[in-house]
Structure 1
Protein backbone atom coordinates (compact mmCIF):
# COMPACT_ATOMS: atom_id res chain seq x y z
CA UNK A 1 0.00 0.00 0.00
CA UNK A 2 1.63 3.30 -1.09
CA UNK A 3 2.02 5.97 1.56
CA UNK A 4 -0.57 8.75 1.55
CA UNK A 5 0.01 12.37 2.54
CA UNK A 6 -2.56 14.71 4.07
CA UNK A 7 -0.76 18.02 3.48
CA UNK A 8 1.38 18.58 0.37
CA UNK A 9 3.36 21.71 -0.43
CA UNK A 10 4.55 22.18 -4.03
CA UNK A 11 7.12 24.94 -4.54
CA UNK A 12 7.89 26.39 -7.97
CA UNK A 13 9.69 29.73 -7.70
CA UNK A 14 11.63 29.67 -10.97
CA UNK A 15 9.67 32.69 -12.18
CA UNK A 16 8.24 31.68 -15.54
CA UNK A 17 4.70 30.73 -16.51
CA UNK A 18 6.13 27.89 -18.58
CA UNK A 19 8.07 26.56 -15.58
CA UNK A 20 4.86 26.22 -13.59
CA UNK A 21 3.02 24.60 -16.50
CA UNK A 22 5.74 21.97 -16.88
CA UNK A 23 5.22 21.07 -13.21
CA UNK A 24 1.43 20.95 -13.48
CA UNK A 25 1.20 17.22 -14.35
CA UNK A 26 3.10 16.49 -11.13
CA UNK A 27 0.62 18.59 -9.14
CA UNK A 28 -2.31 16.71 -10.66
CA UNK A 29 -0.60 13.35 -10.22
CA UNK A 30 0.05 14.03 -6.53
CA UNK A 31 -3.59 14.99 -6.10
CA UNK A 32 -4.78 11.76 -7.71
CA UNK A 33 -2.41 9.69 -5.60
CA UNK A 34 -3.52 11.42 -2.38
CA UNK A 35 -7.29 11.93 -2.57
CA UNK A 36 -8.53 14.37 0.02
CA UNK A 37 -5.09 15.86 0.64
CA UNK A 38 -4.69 19.57 1.26
CA UNK A 39 -2.46 20.52 -1.67
CA UNK A 40 -0.79 23.91 -1.50
CA UNK A 41 1.21 25.62 -4.26
CA UNK A 42 3.80 28.34 -3.74
CA UNK A 43 4.68 30.11 -6.96
CA UNK A 44 4.96 33.54 -8.60
CA UNK A 45 2.31 35.79 -10.06
CA UNK A 46 0.90 35.93 -12.68
CA UNK A 47 1.21 32.16 -13.12
CA UNK A 48 -0.42 31.69 -9.74
CA UNK A 49 -3.76 32.67 -11.33
CA UNK A 50 -3.68 29.41 -13.30
CA UNK A 51 -3.69 27.26 -10.17
CA UNK A 52 -5.99 29.46 -8.07
CA UNK A 53 -8.90 28.16 -10.13
CA UNK A 54 -7.70 24.54 -10.17
CA UNK A 55 -10.07 22.35 -8.13
CA UNK A 56 -7.26 20.10 -6.81
CA UNK A 57 -5.35 23.04 -5.30
CA UNK A 58 -6.53 24.09 -1.84
CA UNK A 59 -4.27 27.13 -1.36
CA UNK A 60 -1.97 29.27 -3.48
CA UNK A 61 0.75 31.44 -2.00
CA UNK A 62 3.05 33.95 -3.68
CA UNK A 63 6.04 36.02 -2.53
CA UNK A 64 4.90 39.27 -0.91
CA UNK A 65 7.42 41.56 -2.64
CA UNK A 66 10.02 41.50 -5.41
CA UNK A 67 13.08 42.40 -3.36
CA UNK A 68 15.95 39.96 -2.79
CA UNK A 69 15.02 37.19 -0.39
CA UNK A 70 11.29 37.33 -1.13
CA UNK A 71 11.12 33.70 -2.21
CA UNK A 72 12.89 32.41 0.90
CA UNK A 73 10.57 34.49 3.08
CA UNK A 74 7.55 33.04 1.27
CA UNK A 75 8.77 29.48 1.91
CA UNK A 76 9.31 30.25 5.60
CA UNK A 77 5.80 31.72 5.84
CA UNK A 78 4.24 28.68 4.16
CA UNK A 79 6.08 26.33 6.51
CA UNK A 80 5.14 28.38 9.57
CA UNK A 81 1.48 28.34 8.59
CA UNK A 82 1.39 24.57 8.25
CA UNK A 83 4.06 21.91 8.37
CA UNK A 84 3.66 19.71 5.26
CA UNK A 85 3.72 15.95 5.27
CA UNK A 86 5.30 16.14 1.81
CA UNK A 87 7.19 18.96 0.10
CA UNK A 88 8.10 18.88 -3.60
CA UNK A 89 10.20 21.64 -5.16
CA UNK A 90 11.81 22.65 -8.44
CA UNK A 91 13.57 25.52 -6.68
CA UNK A 92 17.22 25.10 -5.72
CA UNK A 93 18.48 28.57 -4.75
CA UNK A 94 18.75 30.59 -1.52
CA UNK A 95 18.74 27.56 0.77
CA UNK A 96 15.12 26.72 -0.04
CA UNK A 97 15.75 22.94 -0.29
CA UNK A 98 17.28 22.96 3.20
CA UNK A 99 14.24 24.75 4.62
CA UNK A 100 11.85 22.23 3.10
CA UNK A 101 13.89 19.21 4.13
CA UNK A 102 14.09 20.45 7.72
CA UNK A 103 10.37 21.18 8.07
CA UNK A 104 8.53 18.57 5.99
CA UNK A 105 8.03 14.99 7.05
CA UNK A 106 9.31 14.07 3.60
CA UNK A 107 10.82 16.28 0.91
CA UNK A 108 11.86 15.86 -2.72
CA UNK A 109 13.81 18.99 -3.55
CA UNK A 110 15.82 18.21 -6.67
CA UNK A 111 13.69 17.43 -9.69
CA UNK A 112 16.58 18.44 -11.98
CA UNK A 113 19.00 15.65 -11.08
CA UNK A 114 20.84 13.75 -13.82
CA UNK A 115 18.57 14.69 -16.73
CA UNK A 116 19.07 12.88 -20.05
CA UNK A 117 19.67 15.41 -22.87
CA UNK A 118 16.66 14.16 -24.84
CA UNK A 119 14.06 13.83 -22.06
CA UNK A 120 11.39 16.54 -21.70
CA UNK A 121 11.79 18.51 -18.49
CA UNK A 122 8.25 17.81 -17.35
CA UNK A 123 8.68 14.09 -17.94
CA UNK A 124 11.88 14.17 -15.91
CA UNK A 125 9.95 15.61 -12.98
CA UNK A 126 7.36 12.85 -13.28
CA UNK A 127 9.94 10.09 -13.61
CA UNK A 128 11.76 11.20 -10.48
CA UNK A 129 8.54 11.43 -8.47
CA UNK A 130 7.51 8.00 -9.71
CA UNK A 131 10.92 6.59 -8.73
CA UNK A 132 10.37 8.12 -5.28
CA UNK A 133 7.10 6.19 -5.01
CA UNK A 134 4.98 9.33 -5.14
CA UNK A 135 3.22 8.92 -8.51
CA UNK A 136 1.49 6.08 -10.31
CA UNK A 137 3.06 4.62 -13.49
CA UNK A 138 0.32 6.13 -15.67
CA UNK A 139 1.42 9.62 -14.62
CA UNK A 140 4.95 9.31 -16.05
CA UNK A 141 4.00 10.62 -19.50
CA UNK A 142 1.18 13.00 -18.55
CA UNK A 143 1.04 16.32 -20.37
CA UNK A 144 0.15 19.68 -18.85
CA UNK A 145 -3.55 20.45 -18.76
CA UNK A 146 -4.75 23.71 -17.28
CA UNK A 147 -8.17 24.01 -15.62
CA UNK A 148 -10.33 26.62 -17.35
CA UNK A 149 -13.33 27.88 -15.44
CA UNK A 150 -16.74 28.38 -17.03
CA UNK A 151 -16.44 32.16 -17.18
CA UNK A 152 -13.00 32.00 -18.81
CA UNK A 153 -14.37 29.52 -21.36
CA UNK A 154 -17.30 31.79 -22.16
CA UNK A 155 -15.13 34.90 -22.37
CA UNK A 156 -12.64 33.18 -24.65
CA UNK A 157 -15.41 31.90 -26.90
CA UNK A 158 -17.00 35.35 -27.18
CA UNK A 159 -13.70 37.01 -28.06
CA UNK A 160 -12.59 34.51 -30.67
CA UNK A 161 -16.04 34.31 -32.27
CA UNK A 162 -16.12 38.10 -32.58
CA UNK A 163 -12.63 38.32 -34.07
CA UNK A 164 -12.69 35.46 -36.58
CA UNK A 165 -16.36 35.09 -37.55
CA UNK A 166 -16.83 32.16 -39.92
CA UNK A 167 -13.50 31.93 -41.73
CA UNK A 168 -12.53 29.88 -44.76
CA UNK A 169 -9.63 28.33 -42.85
CA UNK A 170 -8.85 27.76 -39.15
CA UNK A 171 -7.46 30.68 -37.14
CA UNK A 172 -3.76 30.97 -36.35
CA UNK A 173 -2.40 32.81 -33.31
CA UNK A 174 1.11 34.26 -33.54
CA UNK A 175 2.95 34.63 -30.22
CA UNK A 176 5.64 37.08 -31.25
CA UNK A 177 7.54 37.67 -28.01
CA UNK A 178 9.58 35.32 -25.84
CA UNK A 179 10.65 37.34 -22.82
CA UNK A 180 14.30 36.82 -23.80
CA UNK A 181 15.84 38.22 -26.98
CA UNK A 182 17.78 35.03 -27.60
CA UNK A 183 14.53 33.12 -28.20
CA UNK A 184 12.86 35.56 -30.61
CA UNK A 185 12.12 34.72 -34.22
CA UNK A 186 13.14 37.52 -36.66
CA UNK A 187 10.41 40.08 -37.17
CA UNK A 188 10.67 39.90 -40.94
CA UNK A 189 9.82 36.20 -40.73
CA UNK A 190 6.69 36.97 -38.72
CA UNK A 191 5.60 39.49 -41.35
CA UNK A 192 6.07 37.04 -44.19
CA UNK A 193 4.29 34.24 -42.34
CA UNK A 194 1.33 36.46 -41.43
CA UNK A 195 0.98 37.62 -45.02
CA UNK A 196 1.00 34.10 -46.42
CA UNK A 197 -1.50 32.83 -43.84
CA UNK A 198 -3.84 35.72 -44.61
CA UNK A 199 -3.56 35.01 -48.33
CA UNK A 200 -4.66 31.43 -47.66
CA UNK A 201 -7.73 32.52 -45.72
CA UNK A 202 -6.55 31.94 -42.15
CA UNK A 203 -7.62 34.62 -39.66
CA UNK A 204 -4.39 35.77 -38.00
CA UNK A 205 -4.51 36.74 -34.34
CA UNK A 206 -1.56 37.92 -32.27
CA UNK A 207 -0.36 37.77 -28.68
CA UNK A 208 2.49 40.01 -27.63
CA UNK A 209 4.11 43.15 -28.98
CA UNK A 210 3.37 44.12 -32.57
CA UNK A 211 4.59 46.96 -34.74
CA UNK A 212 1.65 49.39 -35.12
CA UNK A 213 3.02 50.50 -38.50
CA UNK A 214 3.31 46.91 -39.76
CA UNK A 215 0.53 44.96 -38.03
CA UNK A 216 0.58 41.18 -38.37
CA UNK A 217 -3.07 40.50 -37.64
CA UNK A 218 -5.72 41.19 -35.03
CA UNK A 219 -4.38 41.40 -31.47
CA UNK A 220 -6.13 39.32 -28.87
CA UNK A 221 -7.19 41.65 -26.03
CA UNK A 222 -4.89 41.79 -23.00
CA UNK A 223 -6.50 39.66 -20.30
CA UNK A 224 -5.50 37.61 -17.28
CA UNK A 225 -4.00 34.17 -17.83
CA UNK A 226 -7.14 32.10 -17.14
CA UNK A 227 -9.04 34.15 -19.74
CA UNK A 228 -6.15 33.85 -22.20
CA UNK A 229 -6.35 30.09 -21.69
CA UNK A 230 -10.05 30.34 -22.54
CA UNK A 231 -9.18 32.18 -25.76
CA UNK A 232 -6.64 29.52 -26.70
CA UNK A 233 -9.21 26.80 -25.98
CA UNK A 234 -11.66 28.56 -28.32
CA UNK A 235 -8.97 28.63 -31.03
CA UNK A 236 -8.39 24.92 -30.46
CA UNK A 237 -12.11 24.15 -30.80
CA UNK A 238 -11.90 25.74 -34.26
CA UNK A 239 -8.95 23.48 -35.21
CA UNK A 240 -6.68 26.50 -35.00
CA UNK A 241 -2.98 26.61 -34.23
CA UNK A 242 -0.84 28.72 -31.91
CA UNK A 243 2.72 29.31 -33.14
CA UNK A 244 5.56 30.91 -31.23
CA UNK A 245 8.92 30.47 -29.54
CA UNK A 246 9.81 28.75 -26.28
CA UNK A 247 7.65 30.90 -24.02
CA UNK A 248 4.86 30.66 -21.48
CA UNK A 249 1.88 31.61 -23.69
CA UNK A 250 2.69 28.85 -26.20
CA UNK A 251 2.86 26.33 -23.34
CA UNK A 252 -0.43 27.71 -22.02
CA UNK A 253 -2.03 27.23 -25.44
CA UNK A 254 -0.95 23.57 -25.48
CA UNK A 255 -2.19 23.09 -21.91
CA UNK A 256 -5.54 24.62 -22.93
CA UNK A 257 -5.96 22.09 -25.74
CA UNK A 258 -4.87 24.05 -28.81
CA UNK A 259 -2.44 22.66 -31.36
CA UNK A 260 0.93 24.40 -31.22
CA UNK A 261 3.98 24.88 -33.39
CA UNK A 262 7.02 25.67 -31.24
CA UNK A 263 10.01 27.57 -32.63
CA UNK A 264 13.14 26.44 -30.77
CA UNK A 265 16.63 27.82 -31.10
CA UNK A 266 18.84 28.10 -28.02
CA UNK A 267 16.68 25.66 -26.06
CA UNK A 268 16.50 22.04 -27.16
CA UNK A 269 13.05 21.06 -28.43
CA UNK A 270 13.57 17.53 -27.11
CA UNK A 271 13.83 18.96 -23.59
CA UNK A 272 11.54 21.98 -23.73
CA UNK A 273 9.07 21.25 -26.53
CA UNK A 274 5.32 21.34 -26.05
CA UNK A 275 4.92 17.90 -27.62
CA UNK A 276 2.99 19.00 -30.73
CA UNK A 277 4.96 20.25 -33.74
CA UNK A 278 8.28 21.54 -32.41
CA UNK A 279 10.84 22.89 -34.88
CA UNK A 280 14.53 23.10 -33.99
CA UNK A 281 16.76 25.73 -35.58
CA UNK A 282 20.38 24.68 -36.18
CA UNK A 283 19.91 21.29 -34.50
CA UNK A 284 23.66 20.59 -34.62
CA UNK A 285 24.79 23.86 -32.99
CA UNK A 286 27.92 23.10 -30.97
CA UNK A 287 27.12 25.83 -28.44
CA UNK A 288 23.73 24.43 -27.36
CA UNK A 289 23.75 22.70 -23.96
CA UNK A 290 20.42 20.90 -23.52
CA UNK A 291 20.82 20.29 -19.78
CA UNK A 292 22.65 23.55 -18.93
CA UNK A 293 21.03 26.25 -21.06
CA UNK A 294 22.05 29.15 -18.80
CA UNK A 295 25.72 28.31 -19.42
CA UNK A 296 25.44 28.84 -23.18
CA UNK A 297 27.43 31.84 -24.45
CA UNK A 298 24.32 33.34 -26.08
CA UNK A 299 21.88 32.95 -23.20
CA UNK A 300 21.89 36.16 -21.16
CA UNK A 301 22.96 38.76 -23.72
CA UNK A 302 21.59 37.16 -26.92
CA UNK A 303 25.04 37.52 -28.47
CA UNK A 304 25.22 34.64 -30.88
CA UNK A 305 28.77 33.32 -31.43
CA UNK A 306 27.77 32.35 -34.97
CA UNK A 307 26.09 35.56 -36.15
CA UNK A 308 26.48 39.07 -34.66
CA UNK A 309 23.16 40.09 -36.21
CA UNK A 310 21.17 37.84 -33.90
CA UNK A 311 20.50 34.24 -32.88
CA UNK A 312 21.49 32.14 -35.90
CA UNK A 313 19.42 29.21 -34.63
CA UNK A 314 16.21 31.23 -34.69
CA UNK A 315 16.96 32.76 -38.10
CA UNK A 316 17.59 29.21 -39.37
CA UNK A 317 13.88 28.45 -39.00
CA UNK A 318 12.74 29.55 -42.43
CA UNK A 319 9.22 30.75 -43.12
CA UNK A 320 8.43 27.92 -45.53
CA UNK A 321 9.15 25.26 -42.90
CA UNK A 322 7.09 27.07 -40.27
CA UNK A 323 4.23 27.66 -42.70
CA UNK A 324 4.13 23.97 -43.63
CA UNK A 325 4.00 22.99 -39.95
CA UNK A 326 1.27 25.52 -39.13
CA UNK A 327 -0.97 24.60 -42.06
CA UNK A 328 -0.48 20.89 -41.38
CA UNK A 329 -1.74 21.43 -37.83
CA UNK A 330 -4.55 23.82 -38.83
Structure 2
Protein backbone atom coordinates (compact mmCIF):
# COMPACT_ATOMS: atom_id res chain seq x y z
CA UNK A 1 0.00 0.00 0.00
CA UNK A 2 1.21 3.48 -0.93
CA UNK A 3 0.02 6.20 1.47
CA UNK A 4 0.64 9.90 0.83
CA UNK A 5 -0.68 13.20 2.20
CA UNK A 6 -1.16 16.11 -0.17
CA UNK A 7 -3.28 19.22 -0.73
CA UNK A 8 -6.92 18.88 -1.69
CA UNK A 9 -7.26 19.86 -5.36
CA UNK A 10 -10.31 22.06 -6.10
CA UNK A 11 -10.24 21.06 -9.79
CA UNK A 12 -10.28 17.32 -9.06
CA UNK A 13 -13.82 15.93 -8.60
CA UNK A 14 -12.49 12.66 -7.17
CA UNK A 15 -10.62 14.60 -4.48
CA UNK A 16 -13.65 16.67 -3.51
CA UNK A 17 -16.05 13.74 -3.54
CA UNK A 18 -13.61 11.59 -1.57
CA UNK A 19 -13.13 14.33 1.03
CA UNK A 20 -16.91 14.76 1.40
CA UNK A 21 -17.41 10.98 1.65
CA UNK A 22 -14.84 10.56 4.42
CA UNK A 23 -16.24 13.53 6.33
CA UNK A 24 -19.77 12.11 6.11
CA UNK A 25 -18.69 8.65 7.26
CA UNK A 26 -16.59 9.96 10.14
CA UNK A 27 -18.80 12.92 11.11
CA UNK A 28 -22.32 12.49 9.73
CA UNK A 29 -23.68 15.38 11.79
CA UNK A 30 -21.94 18.07 9.69
CA UNK A 31 -23.08 18.90 6.15
CA UNK A 32 -20.35 18.72 3.52
CA UNK A 33 -20.54 18.43 -0.25
CA UNK A 34 -17.96 18.53 -3.00
CA UNK A 35 -19.29 21.95 -4.03
CA UNK A 36 -19.05 23.35 -0.50
CA UNK A 37 -15.49 22.09 -0.10
CA UNK A 38 -14.42 23.70 -3.36
CA UNK A 39 -16.05 26.96 -2.29
CA UNK A 40 -14.22 26.96 1.05
CA UNK A 41 -10.90 26.31 -0.64
CA UNK A 42 -11.37 29.08 -3.20
CA UNK A 43 -12.99 31.73 -1.00
CA UNK A 44 -11.52 31.42 2.48
CA UNK A 45 -9.73 34.64 3.45
CA UNK A 46 -5.99 34.52 2.61
CA UNK A 47 -5.07 35.44 6.19
CA UNK A 48 -6.56 32.13 7.36
CA UNK A 49 -3.89 30.23 5.38
CA UNK A 50 -6.54 27.58 4.84
CA UNK A 51 -5.06 24.30 3.65
CA UNK A 52 -7.29 21.23 3.39
CA UNK A 53 -5.32 18.00 3.15
CA UNK A 54 -6.14 14.50 1.99
CA UNK A 55 -4.51 11.20 2.85
CA UNK A 56 -4.56 8.97 -0.23
CA UNK A 57 -3.97 5.21 -0.20
CA UNK A 58 -3.56 3.57 -3.60
CA UNK A 59 -5.57 6.36 -5.24
CA UNK A 60 -8.41 6.42 -2.66
CA UNK A 61 -9.00 9.33 -0.27
CA UNK A 62 -9.06 7.73 3.20
CA UNK A 63 -8.35 10.72 5.44
CA UNK A 64 -8.94 14.47 5.57
CA UNK A 65 -7.74 17.49 7.50
CA UNK A 66 -9.11 21.02 7.59
CA UNK A 67 -6.31 23.35 8.61
CA UNK A 68 -6.38 27.12 9.12
CA UNK A 69 -5.58 30.02 11.40
CA UNK A 70 -8.38 31.59 13.45
CA UNK A 71 -8.09 34.96 11.77
CA UNK A 72 -11.26 36.36 13.39
CA UNK A 73 -9.77 35.94 16.86
CA UNK A 74 -8.34 38.90 18.76
CA UNK A 75 -5.49 36.64 19.87
CA UNK A 76 -3.08 35.91 17.00
CA UNK A 77 -1.32 32.63 16.49
CA UNK A 78 -4.21 30.23 17.04
CA UNK A 79 -4.51 27.38 14.58
CA UNK A 80 -7.21 24.81 13.93
CA UNK A 81 -6.63 21.19 12.91
CA UNK A 82 -9.57 18.84 12.41
CA UNK A 83 -8.58 15.38 11.21
CA UNK A 84 -10.98 12.61 10.16
CA UNK A 85 -10.14 9.18 8.77
CA UNK A 86 -12.43 6.73 7.00
CA UNK A 87 -13.77 4.43 9.79
CA UNK A 88 -12.77 1.36 7.80
CA UNK A 89 -9.25 2.57 7.01
CA UNK A 90 -7.91 3.50 10.42
CA UNK A 91 -4.58 2.39 11.92
CA UNK A 92 -2.81 2.70 8.58
CA UNK A 93 -0.93 5.85 9.56
CA UNK A 94 -3.13 8.37 7.73
CA UNK A 95 -4.00 10.32 10.87
CA UNK A 96 -0.38 10.63 11.96
CA UNK A 97 0.71 11.93 8.56
CA UNK A 98 -2.16 14.42 8.40
CA UNK A 99 -1.42 15.81 11.87
CA UNK A 100 2.28 16.19 11.09
CA UNK A 101 1.65 18.04 7.81
CA UNK A 102 -1.01 20.25 9.39
CA UNK A 103 1.17 21.21 12.34
CA UNK A 104 4.12 22.04 10.10
CA UNK A 105 1.90 24.26 7.92
CA UNK A 106 0.43 26.20 10.85
CA UNK A 107 3.75 26.58 12.65
CA UNK A 108 5.25 28.01 9.46
CA UNK A 109 2.53 30.68 9.50
CA UNK A 110 3.07 31.70 13.11
CA UNK A 111 0.71 29.43 15.04
CA UNK A 112 1.58 29.09 18.71
CA UNK A 113 -1.54 27.32 19.93
CA UNK A 114 -3.28 24.48 18.09
CA UNK A 115 -6.87 23.43 18.65
CA UNK A 116 -8.60 20.30 17.41
CA UNK A 117 -12.11 18.90 17.82
CA UNK A 118 -12.03 15.20 18.71
CA UNK A 119 -15.04 12.91 18.94
CA UNK A 120 -15.62 11.62 22.48
CA UNK A 121 -14.45 8.07 21.84
CA UNK A 122 -11.55 6.32 23.61
CA UNK A 123 -9.55 5.73 20.44
CA UNK A 124 -9.90 9.31 19.25
CA UNK A 125 -9.02 10.75 22.66
CA UNK A 126 -5.95 8.50 22.91
CA UNK A 127 -4.84 9.58 19.43
CA UNK A 128 -5.02 13.26 20.38
CA UNK A 129 -3.22 12.74 23.68
CA UNK A 130 -0.47 10.75 21.96
CA UNK A 131 0.21 13.78 19.77
CA UNK A 132 0.49 16.12 22.76
CA UNK A 133 -3.04 17.56 22.87
CA UNK A 134 -4.89 18.06 26.17
CA UNK A 135 -8.66 18.04 26.58
CA UNK A 136 -10.50 21.34 26.95
CA UNK A 137 -14.17 22.24 26.51
CA UNK A 138 -16.77 19.99 24.90
CA UNK A 139 -19.77 20.32 22.60
CA UNK A 140 -22.75 18.20 21.56
CA UNK A 141 -24.09 17.30 18.15
CA UNK A 142 -27.89 17.07 18.18
CA UNK A 143 -30.33 15.53 15.73
CA UNK A 144 -34.05 16.04 15.17
CA UNK A 145 -36.26 13.71 13.12
CA UNK A 146 -38.18 16.10 10.87
CA UNK A 147 -39.95 13.33 8.98
CA UNK A 148 -41.48 11.42 11.88
CA UNK A 149 -41.18 13.82 14.82
CA UNK A 150 -43.73 16.43 15.83
CA UNK A 151 -42.65 20.06 15.79
CA UNK A 152 -44.16 22.62 18.15
CA UNK A 153 -46.92 24.46 16.30
CA UNK A 154 -46.12 27.71 14.55
CA UNK A 155 -46.45 30.71 16.84
CA UNK A 156 -47.86 34.10 15.96
CA UNK A 157 -45.23 36.79 16.57
CA UNK A 158 -46.03 39.16 19.44
CA UNK A 159 -46.97 42.78 18.67
CA UNK A 160 -44.14 44.69 17.04
CA UNK A 161 -42.37 41.49 15.90
CA UNK A 162 -42.29 40.27 12.32
CA UNK A 163 -40.88 37.04 10.88
CA UNK A 164 -38.94 37.26 7.63
CA UNK A 165 -36.54 35.00 5.74
CA UNK A 166 -32.93 35.54 4.88
CA UNK A 167 -34.00 35.81 1.24
CA UNK A 168 -35.76 39.07 2.11
CA UNK A 169 -32.31 40.58 2.72
CA UNK A 170 -30.86 39.58 -0.64
CA UNK A 171 -30.43 43.19 -1.76
CA UNK A 172 -28.69 44.22 1.46
CA UNK A 173 -27.58 41.45 3.84
CA UNK A 174 -25.48 43.80 6.01
CA UNK A 175 -28.10 43.87 8.84
CA UNK A 176 -27.73 40.07 9.11
CA UNK A 177 -23.95 40.40 9.13
CA UNK A 178 -24.17 42.79 12.08
CA UNK A 179 -26.54 40.47 13.93
CA UNK A 180 -24.34 37.44 13.21
CA UNK A 181 -21.27 39.33 14.44
CA UNK A 182 -22.93 40.36 17.70
CA UNK A 183 -24.25 36.92 18.55
CA UNK A 184 -21.04 35.13 17.52
CA UNK A 185 -19.02 37.36 19.86
CA UNK A 186 -21.01 35.96 22.80
CA UNK A 187 -20.71 32.28 21.84
CA UNK A 188 -18.87 30.18 24.46
CA UNK A 189 -15.62 28.99 22.95
CA UNK A 190 -11.89 28.53 23.44
CA UNK A 191 -11.38 31.05 20.65
CA UNK A 192 -13.18 34.38 20.49
CA UNK A 193 -14.54 35.45 17.12
CA UNK A 194 -14.92 39.03 15.97
CA UNK A 195 -16.60 39.47 12.59
CA UNK A 196 -15.41 42.81 11.22
CA UNK A 197 -14.83 42.03 7.54
CA UNK A 198 -18.15 42.32 5.70
CA UNK A 199 -16.74 41.25 2.32
CA UNK A 200 -15.20 38.12 3.84
CA UNK A 201 -18.53 37.30 5.53
CA UNK A 202 -20.30 37.64 2.20
CA UNK A 203 -17.86 35.24 0.54
CA UNK A 204 -17.57 32.69 3.34
CA UNK A 205 -21.10 32.73 4.80
CA UNK A 206 -23.71 34.49 2.69
CA UNK A 207 -22.61 33.07 -0.66
CA UNK A 208 -21.67 29.65 0.69
CA UNK A 209 -23.36 26.93 -1.39
CA UNK A 210 -24.78 25.20 1.70
CA UNK A 211 -26.35 28.39 3.09
CA UNK A 212 -30.11 28.60 2.54
CA UNK A 213 -31.52 32.15 2.70
CA UNK A 214 -35.02 30.75 2.12
CA UNK A 215 -34.82 28.50 5.20
CA UNK A 216 -33.09 31.11 7.37
CA UNK A 217 -35.61 32.88 9.61
CA UNK A 218 -35.23 36.37 11.06
CA UNK A 219 -37.30 38.00 13.79
CA UNK A 220 -37.58 41.77 13.37
CA UNK A 221 -38.57 44.10 16.20
CA UNK A 222 -39.93 47.37 14.89
CA UNK A 223 -38.18 46.66 11.61
CA UNK A 224 -34.76 45.83 13.12
CA UNK A 225 -33.32 42.29 12.91
CA UNK A 226 -33.29 41.11 16.52
CA UNK A 227 -32.92 37.32 16.33
CA UNK A 228 -32.26 34.74 13.64
CA UNK A 229 -31.72 31.08 12.90
CA UNK A 230 -29.27 30.56 10.03
CA UNK A 231 -29.87 27.42 7.98
CA UNK A 232 -27.79 25.23 5.73
CA UNK A 233 -28.88 22.32 3.58
CA UNK A 234 -27.06 19.78 1.44
CA UNK A 235 -29.59 20.26 -1.35
CA UNK A 236 -31.30 16.98 -0.42
CA UNK A 237 -33.01 16.03 2.83
CA UNK A 238 -30.42 17.11 5.39
CA UNK A 239 -30.73 20.50 7.10
CA UNK A 240 -28.64 22.17 9.77
CA UNK A 241 -28.78 25.33 11.82
CA UNK A 242 -25.32 26.82 12.12
CA UNK A 243 -26.21 29.78 14.32
CA UNK A 244 -29.28 30.76 16.31
CA UNK A 245 -29.01 33.88 18.37
CA UNK A 246 -30.49 37.13 19.60
CA UNK A 247 -29.08 40.64 19.80
CA UNK A 248 -28.21 41.62 23.37
CA UNK A 249 -30.96 44.26 23.65
CA UNK A 250 -33.68 41.72 22.82
CA UNK A 251 -32.74 38.66 24.82
CA UNK A 252 -35.13 36.94 27.21
CA UNK A 253 -38.18 37.46 24.97
CA UNK A 254 -38.23 34.06 23.21
CA UNK A 255 -37.27 35.50 19.83
CA UNK A 256 -34.58 32.92 19.06
CA UNK A 257 -37.06 30.13 19.72
CA UNK A 258 -39.61 31.89 17.51
CA UNK A 259 -37.14 32.21 14.64
CA UNK A 260 -35.86 28.64 14.92
CA UNK A 261 -39.37 27.20 15.02
CA UNK A 262 -40.22 29.10 11.84
CA UNK A 263 -37.06 27.83 10.15
CA UNK A 264 -37.73 24.22 11.15
CA UNK A 265 -41.26 24.38 9.76
CA UNK A 266 -39.92 25.84 6.51
CA UNK A 267 -37.31 23.07 6.30
CA UNK A 268 -39.86 20.31 6.78
CA UNK A 269 -42.17 21.86 4.18
CA UNK A 270 -39.20 21.95 1.77
CA UNK A 271 -38.71 18.18 2.14
CA UNK A 272 -35.94 18.05 4.73
CA UNK A 273 -36.16 14.94 6.93
CA UNK A 274 -33.21 15.40 9.31
CA UNK A 275 -32.19 18.47 11.28
CA UNK A 276 -28.76 18.85 12.87
CA UNK A 277 -27.25 21.42 15.16
CA UNK A 278 -24.46 21.74 17.70
CA UNK A 279 -24.10 23.33 21.13
CA UNK A 280 -21.26 23.97 23.50
CA UNK A 281 -22.00 21.90 26.61
CA UNK A 282 -21.92 25.11 28.65
CA UNK A 283 -24.60 26.80 26.54
CA UNK A 284 -27.52 25.83 28.76
CA UNK A 285 -30.11 28.25 27.27
CA UNK A 286 -29.62 26.98 23.72
CA UNK A 287 -29.54 23.34 24.80
CA UNK A 288 -32.85 23.92 26.58
CA UNK A 289 -34.36 25.42 23.43
CA UNK A 290 -33.22 22.51 21.29
CA UNK A 291 -34.49 19.99 23.83
CA UNK A 292 -37.87 21.75 23.72
CA UNK A 293 -37.92 21.20 19.95
CA UNK A 294 -37.18 17.51 20.42
CA UNK A 295 -33.52 17.40 19.45
CA UNK A 296 -31.52 14.54 20.94
CA UNK A 297 -27.78 14.41 21.54
CA UNK A 298 -26.24 12.04 19.00
CA UNK A 299 -22.52 12.60 19.68
CA UNK A 300 -20.11 14.68 21.74
CA UNK A 301 -16.77 16.14 20.73
CA UNK A 302 -14.01 17.51 22.92
CA UNK A 303 -11.75 20.37 21.96
CA UNK A 304 -8.10 19.48 22.46
CA UNK A 305 -5.30 22.03 22.71
CA UNK A 306 -1.57 21.89 22.13
CA UNK A 307 0.79 24.75 22.94
CA UNK A 308 3.78 25.07 20.64
CA UNK A 309 7.17 26.11 21.99
Structure that is richer in helix per residue: 1
Structure that is richer in strand per residue: 2
Same fold (TM over 0.5): no
**Normalising by the residue count of structure 1, what TM-score does the alignment of the two structures yield?**
0.30
The structure showing larger relative contact order (alpha-carbon pairs under 8 Å, at least 6 residues apart) is: 2
